[in-house]
């Protein structure tokens, strides 16, 4: 595992306490897991993706990530309707390890309550939380 200062945390994202990230594009949000989360999990071998069109409230479990070390639940950092999922992860779940903020994104949702973004952490606040 890497030290926190060796990991990547883009400034333009918001982060949840349970290590999901959110990138806002107009009225949609792309969601994935942070570089820290993928590093802690190790080699990812499976990502369970939700059905397109399904709605989840903030905090609801929407899937799991399975690695050689553990199975970890994924939680909605903001509520919304699933617009798309990253089908590339079905055949190449390791993309979450190699490019968690690019090809390793997990899903895209229609933002239903933009004020929920206010509860997410900035990069600096997230890194401070990780350092304890």
The three-state (H, E, C) secondary structure of 97-121, written as one string: HHCCCCCCCCEEEEECCHHHHHHCE
Q: Which two tokens stand for residue 56?
A: 């989840």
**26 pLDDT tier (thresholds 50, 70, 90):** confident
CATH of the domain at 60: 2.40.50.100
Mean pLDDT confidence for 19-30: 95
pLDDT at residue 56, as a whole number: 98
In a domain, 93, yes or no: yes
Note the pLDDT tens digit of each residue in 86-125: 999 999 999 999 999 999 999 999 999 999 999 999 999 9
Q: What span, in angstroms and rounded, lies between the C-alpha atoms of 73 and 87?
A: 18
Beta strand 107-111 with 80-85: parallel, antiparallel or unpaired?
antiparallel
**Which residues touch 72 (CB under 8 Å, ≥6 apart)?**
37, 41, 64, 65, 66
- 63: Cα within 13 Å, side-chain hemisphere: 23
In a domain, 120, yes or no: no
Let me know: does 98 contact 43? Beta carbons within 8 Å.
no
Specify the number of domains making up the chain.
1
* Domain extent at residue 94: 4-113
Note the pLDDT tens digit of each residue in 56-93: 999 999 999 999 999 999 999 999 999 999 999 999 99
Let me know: does 65 contact 74? Beta carbons within 8 Å.
yes
In a domain, 52, yes or no: yes
In a domain, 109, yes or no: yes
In a domain, 33, yes or no: yes
In a domain, 89, yes or no: yes
In a domain, 131, yes or no: no
In a domain, 17, yes or no: yes
Q: Which residue has the tokens 């990230």?
A: 21
């Amino acid at each position: 595992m890497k030290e926190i200062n060796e990991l990547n945390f883009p400034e333009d994202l918001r982060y949840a306490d349970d290590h999901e990230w959110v990138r806002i594009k107009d009225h949609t949000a792309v969601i994935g897991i942070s570089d820290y989360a993928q590093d802690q999990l190790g080699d990812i071998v499976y990502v369970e993706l939700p059905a397109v069109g399904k709605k989840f409230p903030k905090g609801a479990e929407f899937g799991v990530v399975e690695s050689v070390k553990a199975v970890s639940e994924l939680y909605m950092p903001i509520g919304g309707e699933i617009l798309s999922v990253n089908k590339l992860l079905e055949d190449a779940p390791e993309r979450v390890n190699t490019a968690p903020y690019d090809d390793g994104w997990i899903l895209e949702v229609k933002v239903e309550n933009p004020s929920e973004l206010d509860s997410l952490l900035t990069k600096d606040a997230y890194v401070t939380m990780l350092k304890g």
